[in-house]
Structure 1
């Protein structure tokens, strides 16, 4: 058995883990990071990055299909577009490899030691790692648990064969003729929309009464309209019960039982923290259900043990994990740090996209605020008109008494790129007048933020 010692041991090289390692290395902290998979975690390898590549490829193909069908008002013509999903997969995988290499290079530059293997904690100061070369024992002064999450499996639809997770969907080399998506949340609808654009006949099955239950109806209405335009069948208030006798997906609705044609069944009903098999039972940490309980500095209940990212609960977002990882590295290095979870952007990469930061109007009222809420539609935005996508809007929520911005939301093509501006407004506790006093470039979609704030003050200029 080989022995290693370090000041900081990190389990998991996903967004939270590798950012923690890089920042710790920059600060001179002797750091070892362990993961059985290539660096980047779910997000880089089988989640955020490859899914956005597939979404982009699907959008490019769908535009050509629409043009070939005579649907372009731009004077562009095209004939018989074809899609080679296998080639698109190779392109996507190439992006992932480049980013893997980039993360590895950054960790080496920060003098982080990267061990490929599966770690099991023996206590709060040590772990045993099984590697291809043998067993390694690592002793550390501090431990960070950043093992991420995995797709939830439905008992009646275990993964395998035609039943696939999001990981399986991103590995497909052919477009299924029919696809049933179990779960109408952001993962299912992002991928379902992409495959609909690639030519699959898609049915989405959601147990709740509406798609994207975490968002309000005003934000999801344009997404629902776009799904209908793409030919996606949406069943809400429906329960998937397993595979039917005909090989399709058996579902229950208020109208009774039905079987949906499905060459593939994509199950996206949520994600669970990966805490099994890492020796957590040897530490006896306090838990919040299946999640590790942490305080405002991501400290677990055992001294010297931290947890970051998906293992600590919702929202399960890569940028949340990154912020936590950076903070923990600085704490281990002796700095005084904390973090504010109130300003975490959430983005849904459906078509159109949704972005939210802070409170919605209903959430603000539920907290006892009297609010000013106003929207500005992209139908009145020059840049949106020039792209041919005018669906959606930007909405601002402000406290009436002092005009403090409490939340910003948007739905529309490409609005994910507004998330940084939205977060900056809330992080800096800006009031409506701060935003309206900021010159926004013309013509851009960002002008809709300016106009929404003007409208909340009662003097919009372009509507």
Structure 2
């Protein structure tokens, strides 16, 4: 006998479970099928565990301020990893409780769609179930990529998932890939005393981020004793006694780097193979991303897709927002546009941004004005000893509408929320500057940056601009 439901949600991550809850609230019967654990990559192997380890590493680093090369931290790593696991397990149970509390159903297993209205689930405990549905949402997420010669084996060569569950802190680690994931994880282990070496193929780390925003991070990597090789390629690795040796081609010639673990962090790809999508006529791009419209509907009129499966940016909050759009579309409710997707990088210092960069705004035809406020001029930043970085605002020179904004500095990920609202609501520089921000706080930097863009900063000296012309 088959299971009958209104909506089948394939994937229980931040896209899938949010879609399920919203659909249940809108009166639909929903079955969530996940191949592993509720919460997806984000909760179990990515966002949450990495931030937990970042917090542990930060606390240990601040308490000891070890010099580069001082040796591996004496932090009780086993307890840290156990605490992380307990926290993740608790969140997973909470997600299950939310779905069940809203009268939804959950099935653990691998689903494949066999027709526009049926799917087969190979249950994790054995056996299969046939599911009949009216609509389906594909929310299967993404997986780590590897590179030739560096297949992820979980013992010597690690993906991000394996690196966050190590039994002990390695004495040395080579990170292949100087993007967001590589630098976040590399920073964790550098703060815990590992000798970290980053090998990046492009000419800069964090290559998709504006250079001025990334500079404070690059400087701090050097302070942590991290060696960074850009315009470089990891060619091979081999065992060297009880350790490993990575051979890398760099602009200075071949380097042989001895380490204990190798982290491959060269990007991610959608996990869309084996779902039966092509047989249904669901259109995919050359990279395996599912093509969707603004309502997250695929080329098959009852199949929706959200999150990493539809393309970058691979961010949990993007997936959650798309989940709501898909649910509202299925329920026949009016939709708001998805809007700008903010991002945050949990390096040291953190970086965040929402909206258009100055370069992007100019490419779209805007005449821009930019304001900056350094955290070195912030009383709160000075008080807590975290003064690296700044807030940056990009606005339309004629209307003063804020087009984009971001932070490099302490708690940048927490500060971006106000900027998100400002960009989405078409707020002006004057409106933010006129809004009282509590003192002393880090988010005063946003108002100060807006004042700077207007040409009259309060706590920094004005930067002279050629022929300024501001609308009254």
After TM superposition, is the score higher than 0.5? yes
For the pair 1:157 / 2:154, whether they are aligned, the reply is: no
What is the aligned counterpart of 1:100 among 92, 97, 100?
92
Q: CA deviation at 1:42?
A: 0.1
CA shift digits 1:421-457 (9 cap, x unpaired): 1100011110111111111111101100000001111
Q: Hey, what's the Cα distance between the residues in 2 that align with 1:65 and 1:81?
A: 9
- Is the CA contact (8 Å cut-off) linking 1:396 and 1:405 kept in structure 2? yes
C-alpha distance in structure 2 between counterparts of 1:262 and 1:67, whole Å: 20
CA distance in 2, matches of 1:156, 1:169: 18
Shift of 1:282: 2.1
Equivalence for 2:357: 360
Maintained 8 Å contact 1:297/1:338: no
Deviation sequence 1:83-138 (CA, Å, 0-9, x none)? 12111000001110110011011001111110111111102211000112521100
1:274 and 2:271 matched: yes
Residue 9 to residue 183, structure 1, CA distance change in 2 (3 Å): same
Matches within 5 A, 1:308-457: 308-341=306-339, 343-457=340-454
Counting matched residue pairs gives 451
- Partner in structure 2 of residue 307 of structure 1: 305
Q: Confirm whether residue 124 of structure 1 aligns to residue 116 of structure 2.
A: yes
**TM-fit CA distance, 1:340:** 2.7
Runs of at least 5 residues in structure 2 that lack an aligned partner in the other structure: 461-472
Whether the 8 Å contact between 1:178 and 1:200 is mirrored in structure 2 is yes
Separation (CA, whole Å) in 1 of partners of 2:364 and 2:202: 25
- 3-state DSSP class of the match of 2:408? strand
Deviations 1:10-69 (A, max 9, x none): 100010000000110111101111012111000000000000000000111111221899
Q: Distance in 2 between matches of 1:280 and 1:146?
A: 13
TM-score (norm 1): 0.95
CA–CA distance in structure 2, aligned partners of residues 340 and 28 of structure 1: 23
Q: CA deviation at 1:336?
A: 2.1
- Determine the C-alpha separation between the residues in 1 that align with 2:381 and 2:66: 19
CA distance in 1, matches of 2:118, 2:307: 21
2:77 to 63, 82, 85: 85
Q: Which residue of 2 aligns with 1:51?
A: 50
Q: Which residue of 1 aligns with 2:217?
A: 223
Gapped regions of structure 1 (runs ≥ 5)? 70-79
Contact 1:244 1:259 in 2 (8 A): no
CA distance in structure 2 between the aligned counterparts of 1:64 and 1:419, rounded to whole angstroms: 27
The C-alpha deviation readout for 1:152-181, integer Å capped at 9, x for no partner, is 011210011310000110110201011000
Query: TM-score w.r.t. structure 2 length?
Result: 0.93
What per-residue deviation string (whole Å, max 9, x for no partner) do you get for residues 256-275 of structure 1?
Answer: 21111121000000000001
Q: Deviations over 1:207-238 (max 9, x none)?
A: 11001001011001000000000000011000
